[in-house]
Amino acid sequence: VHHERHGDAAERMESALIDVVLADRVEMVLRPVGPHRYRAASVLGSVEFERDTGGPTPSYRVRSSTGIDPLAELSADRWIGAAAERTNALPDRQANAYPHAFDSIAQFFDAPHAPDLVAMHTAAHAYGNHLGQHGSLGVTQARAPFIAAGPGVRSQGLIDSSTRTVDIAPTIAALLGVAPHPESIGPTGERRVDGLLRRQDGDPMAELLDGERAEHVVVLLLDGCNANLLHEVIDAGEAPHIAALLARGTGYGHGAIASLPTATLANHTTAVTGAHPGHSGVLHNTWVDRRDGSTPDLLAYDQMFWAMRHLSPDVETLFDAIERTWPGAFSSATFEFCDTGASFSSFALVRDRAGADLPDAEQVTHADPGSVASSEAYAFMSRVDHLSVAHTVACWDREHGNELPRLSWCSLAVTDEAGHESGPHGALARAAVVDSDARVGEVIAAVERAGALERTAFVVMADHGMEQADPALTRPWDDDLVDCGVGHRIVGDGLVYLDRQG
């Protein structure tokens, strides 16, 4: 009886969210409707689909639909190139595409703290007054850049295909030659004999790897960098260091598709572990803990540096896998949330009160003066990124008496901050790519100084995309839900938790 009443509440909540009043702001609503069964509904129609976990990877089939199927378009190759993206900006729900939507939705609701429903914002909705947005399954918000070069990586230039964020950790594990995990679990939850990581939902990228090994891998994560913007800046000759990597390596022209939610904590963790957000313990930046109703907020300054206390013990980071394979090997994670197992971590310095003081503004190099002058957030994040690079360079200069890092994961954040503020095609976002490219150059120079350039593979990537929103459409949806008659809380910009009744 309790379950039926709850199901009815979810149904009524869905109706309220897909009401025509909210059609400009709610793209679609997602929810589970039974074991391995999921529903997506919009103002125009709905679809219900089922997950089959009988094979090595999950498969999906549509069980029913009404009106216009909100998940009818799953292609990843929509709007390739900045010009195409700008021309087709603010796509409505019939124009948008949702790559890997079935898989992305199903994994999300596997999480023990998953909400009852997810309300996905429309592409145009500038909630929180941000001109650039991400978080939804829409292709531009999900699409991150992915470029790799060096030993073990084919030299193909930009290829007309896409990969997935969940494939990044298995790919790096394969590139380094990490030992298979003896108890690896695959994407269906079953034992996986070829798994390199403890929970491996993703696969090594077959198109990318040539079977050789790299002794070292350096990752440069440009948070929230729009893939089309990055390639536009490369083509304009304004990102020479990343351009040189692309010229001798491979880039996915259709990007790396992030998992739902296409947000920072979720997809940093997915990229470092090979586990989807619904399986990693880090579902989003924030959620409701169903045990006690608390709401972790991993972007709050008193929680950010401890974010990985939420990491599931059933997943393994790349840093853990390196330690398992080569005990005592050195690895570094600079300004990376998912740092569990790293020998050096910027966040660990904060946790241990060992000092990670940001440089003064005048000490910061590669920070566009106009952007720094016009945006406090840009200025602040430039200081953070400067320190992240300094920490990574210190590891390559062996300043800790260390061996050279097997894996050096350097996260940079100004691209995300700038993209939110100016939109992905605004001046700040472009300047952030140029600045980040110069920082990539600093790290490459440190590897070269260490004499390891020929033995090191480089990855340039982002955790999710960034999409232009409509500056005229900032109205939040909360006021329109006050009278919906269903007790609920919404956290994380669209995770809807229904009030439990007696």
Q: Which of 226, 264, 286, 375 binds Zn ion (CB under 5 A)?
A: 264
Nearest position to Zn ion, beta carbon: 264
Phi, psi of 414 (to 5 degrees): -65, -30
Interface stretch with Zn ion, choices 66-74, 257-265, 399-407, 418-426 (CB under 5 A)? 257-265
Question: Which is closer to Zn ion, CB of 228 or CB of 264?
Answer: 264
* Least Å from the CB of residue 169 to Zn ion: 17
* Least Å from the CB of residue 264 to Zn ion: 3
* Least Å from the CB of residue 463 to Zn ion: 4
Cα(455)–Cα(433) distance, integer angstroms: 26
Question: Which is closer to Zn ion, CB of 50 or CB of 463?
Answer: 463
* Least Å from the CB of residue 414 to Zn ion: 12
* Under 8 Å between Cβ of 410 and 389: yes
Q: Which of 115, 145, 170, 224 binds Zn ion (CB under 5 A)?
A: 224
Cα(219)–Cα(68) distance, integer angstroms: 41
Question: Which is closer to Zn ion, CB of 38 or CB of 127?
Answer: 127
* Least Å from the CB of residue 478 to Zn ion: 24
Using alpha carbons only, what angle is made at residue 210 by residues 206 and 215, rounded to the nearest 5 degrees? 115
Question: Which is closer to Zn ion, CB of 9 or CB of 431?
Answer: 431
* Least Å from the CB of residue 238 to Zn ion: 22
Which are the contacts of 490, defined by CB distance < 8 A and separation ≥ 6? Answer: 119, 478, 481, 496, 497
Give the other-Cβ count within 10 Å of 70's Cβ. 27
* Least Å from the CB of residue 257 to Zn ion: 14
* Least Å from the CB of residue 367 to Zn ion: 20
* Region class of 328: left (phi > 0), else alpha (psi between -120 and 50), else beta: left
* Least Å from the CB of residue 224 to Zn ion: 4
Cα(374)–Cα(389) distance, integer angstroms: 23
Interface stretch with Zn ion, choices 27-35, 124-132, 182-190, 264-272 (CB under 5 A)? 264-272
Phi, psi of 59 (to 5 degrees): -125, 160
User: Strands of 216-222's sheet, edge to edge?
Assistant: 157-159, 250-252, 146-149, 456-461, 216-222, 407-412, 331-334, 344-345
Cα(367)–Cα(379) distance, integer angstroms: 8
Question: Which is closer to Zn ion, CB of 232 or CB of 416?
Answer: 416
Residues in contact with Zn ion, counted by CB under 5 A, come to a total of: 5
- The per-type count for the chain, helices as H runs and strands as E runs, is 16, 20
Beta bridge mates, 148: 250, 459
Question: Which is closer to Zn ion, CB of 128 or CB of 487?
Answer: 128
Question: Which is closer to Zn ion, CB of 269 or CB of 392?
Answer: 269
Interface stretch with Zn ion, choices 16-24, 95-103, 177-185, 223-231 (CB under 5 A)? 223-231
Q: What is the contact mask toward Zn ion in residues 404 to 443, using x (rule: CB under 5 A)?
A: ------------x---------------------------
Q: Which of 223, 323, 435, 437 binds Zn ion (CB under 5 A)?
A: 223
Phi, psi of 494 (to 5 degrees): 155, 5
* Under 8 Å between Cβ of 254 and 76: yes
* Least Å from the CB of residue 32 to Zn ion: 26
Which are the contacts of 72, defined by CB distance < 8 A and separation ≥ 6? Answer: 47
Question: Which is closer to Zn ion, CB of 158 or CB of 381?
Answer: 381
Segment 454-493, which members bind Zn ion (CB under 5 A)? Answer: 463
Cα(420)–Cα(403) distance, integer angstroms: 38
**What's the longest Cα–Cα distance across the chain?**
68
Interface stretch with Zn ion, choices 106-114, 163-171, 217-225, 401-409 (CB under 5 A)? 217-225
Question: Which is closer to Zn ion, CB of 214 or CB of 414?
Answer: 414
Give the footprint of Zn ion on this chain (CB under 5 A): 223-224, 264, 416, 463
